[in-house]
Structure 1
């Protein structure tokens, strides 16, 4: 992995850096989760997140789509293609997969389609005629695909433009067998990787706070910086431990590790934002565009967490507490 190339692109393109730039530079060629390089994969996600949270939302979805297709034995995607992973299942927006020989025809509306206007392909979840959950690969320039401008009014994560997309009899290729998408080990391995994106965003906010606070030397601000240090450093430790566990158990379910890590990083990110805001006041929120954007983006991105529902999942009787030192 060439992190120098990422730094060069960031320096060259700045706020104009796009998913296409990252793909064309080969920066999406990441180790697969559980391959022994999970931490290296997450470091790349965190580095992109520290630059731009909206961009990493698209980058993570693209690299997740590549990993899913490899894990489920799909044909390698075309060079230069840009993928989304659109598998949210709100009850009002579920796709129907109609069998068409060895393929599907997709019908319905898919919600939360991040980056739809910037992508060439997507993996989409849906339901076949027997009521089974399925996954399909679809080209977004196929007849019958309509990318709407509906479904996204947020200020935070604005550049993801996570709109609704309509599918009217669109041809698509099955990826794996029904049920494979959530049953595979990579489902929770990839879910844990989202936390690396959140952590990267928190790290960028922490870096801005550190630069400003150390220049002032004000005791209360320094206390806030100390709290930020604890939050960022301890959550990084959790990410490293989770990546090591995944690499040591690549065929096992990482559900418990993923939930713990996501929730730990979520709490750390929220603590970082609170302390940074209190330490720095309104000035950077009003005059530093990058800081202000990160402070608006990260709360929206964090809501990909299921909050108390995930916390309750960790209290289930079959969860391995493993409270050892």
Structure 2
């Protein structure tokens, strides 16, 4: 058994842990509970069990997309620090935010202090869970413009202030992707300059987000499946047709997720950018079809009378916008047009 197989929570244990969560509690509380139970210990990307990692993310997403957002960020931070090597020692019981968005309004700036210490100033946007996690792992830049460099820091220090003033979300509201301001906060460098973007795990981790989208779409599709399966009479042919559309889309995106995970495990040090872009765009397309078909088939009732369905239907379109839409299609097209590419071989 590999080291990663030993350290991983089973999908059955994760499912039981999710079922035991109190839905009246916040997703932040759910993340803390999953960490307490050791259910955040997923296989590392490219370790031979990437599919199991994505299945875990998909499972959390089926339960709650805001929780999945926090859980994916936390487990991504753990993977990034593991990839950085022994210098990034674990912090037992910590909950992590992984924040790499860059704002056009300014950057987070760091100044070296000692061997690996960094003094942090400036601001960071789109920091999911920042008001509740114990630690943050974020991209920052040196004053001369070089970087990015990864810095990790505890959130409970005087130089860290969070603000939800700009967070007006309805969908994904509970993920609380708020702003953080740093004023001489103290952190620790993780890895070398530019390592965050250059490491194989950067694009390998991108598929994990697609697994979350797949989970959200599966949860909505489940409502249509239950409606068709429990119909007292012969199901409406229109609902059956919608279920056929939904099933075809989800089976296709699931197959590509499995294929991509297998490719990553077979090529753990290679550039996975084209694979990750393909699977993300395919899952986004599948999820958008599910949103449309399920809504058309079931009408307004579940949106108005099923709290879990309504929340998932509000959350999923917002989460999908973590995709960069046409920019990602253009980036993928550029890779597919490169000499020697054979993207559609069977």
> TM-score range with shorter-chain normalisation?
over 0.9
Structure 1 distance, partners of 2:338, 2:74, is 33
Structure 1 distance, partners of 2:106, 2:56, is 32
Residue 297 (structure 1) aligned to one of 306, 312, 315: 315
Q: Does 1:127 align with 2:141?
A: yes
Residue 171 (structure 2) aligned to one of 135, 141, 156: 156
Partner of 1:210: 225
Task: Give the CA deviation at 1:148.
Answer: 1.1
Task: Give the CA deviation at 1:45.
Answer: 0.3
Partner-residue secondary structure (3-state), 2:131? helix
Partner of 2:6: none
Q: Does 1:323 align with 2:337?
A: no
- Name stretches of at least 5 consecutive residues in structure 1 with no aligned partner: none
Kindly report which structure 2 residues correspond to 1:27-106, keeping only aligned pairs within 5 A, or say none.
27-73=39-85, 74-102=87-115, 103-106=117-120
Summarize deviations over 1:273-320 as a string: whole Å, max 9, x none: 100000000000000000000000000000000000000111213373
Task: Give the CA deviation at 1:100.
Answer: 1.8
Residue 287 (structure 1) aligned to one of 297, 305, 314: 305
TM-score (norm 1): 0.97
CA RMSD of aligned residues (A): 1.2
Partner-residue secondary structure (3-state), 2:168? coil
Partner of 1:9: 17
Structure 2 distance, partners of 1:53, 1:312, is 28
Partner-residue secondary structure (3-state), 1:174? strand
Partner of 1:194: 209
TM-score (norm 2): 0.92
Q: Does 1:109 align with 2:130?
A: no
Partner-residue secondary structure (3-state), 1:230? helix
Structure 2 distance, partners of 1:223, 1:157, is 30
Structure 1 distance, partners of 2:332, 2:14, is 36
Kindly report which structure 2 residues correspond to 1:233-244, keeping only aligned pairs within 5 A, or say none.
233-244=251-262
Partner of 2:4: none
Summarize deviations over 1:118-165 as a string: whole Å, max 9, x none: 200011111113312111001101221001122211100011111101
Partner-residue secondary structure (3-state), 1:18? helix
Partner of 1:256: 274
Structure 2 distance, partners of 1:170, 1:121, is 12
Q: Is the 1:96–1:106 contact (alpha carbons within 8 Å) kept by the matching residues of 2?
A: yes
Task: Give the CA deviation at 1:321.
Answer: 4.0
Task: Give the CA deviation at 1:101.
Answer: 2.2
Partner-residue secondary structure (3-state), 2:151? strand
Partner-residue secondary structure (3-state), 1:59? helix
Task: Give the CA deviation at 1:79.
Answer: 1.2
Q: How many residues align?
A: 325
Structure 2 distance, partners of 1:233, 1:245, is 18
Q: Is the 2:203–2:271 contact (alpha carbons within 8 Å) kept by the matching residues of 1?
A: yes
Q: Is the 1:61–1:84 contact (alpha carbons within 8 Å) kept by the matching residues of 2?
A: yes
Partner of 2:181: 166
Summarize deviations over 1:239-297 as a string: whole Å, max 9, x none: 00000000000001100000000000000000001000000000000000000000000
Task: Give the CA deviation at 1:8.
Answer: 2.3
Structure 2 distance, partners of 1:32, 1:140, is 25
Summarize deviations over 1:29-85 as a string: whole Å, max 9, x none: 111000000000000000000000000100000000000001011333211100010
Q: Is the 1:213–1:279 contact (alpha carbons within 8 Å) kept by the matching residues of 2?
A: no
Partner-residue secondary structure (3-state), 2:333? coil
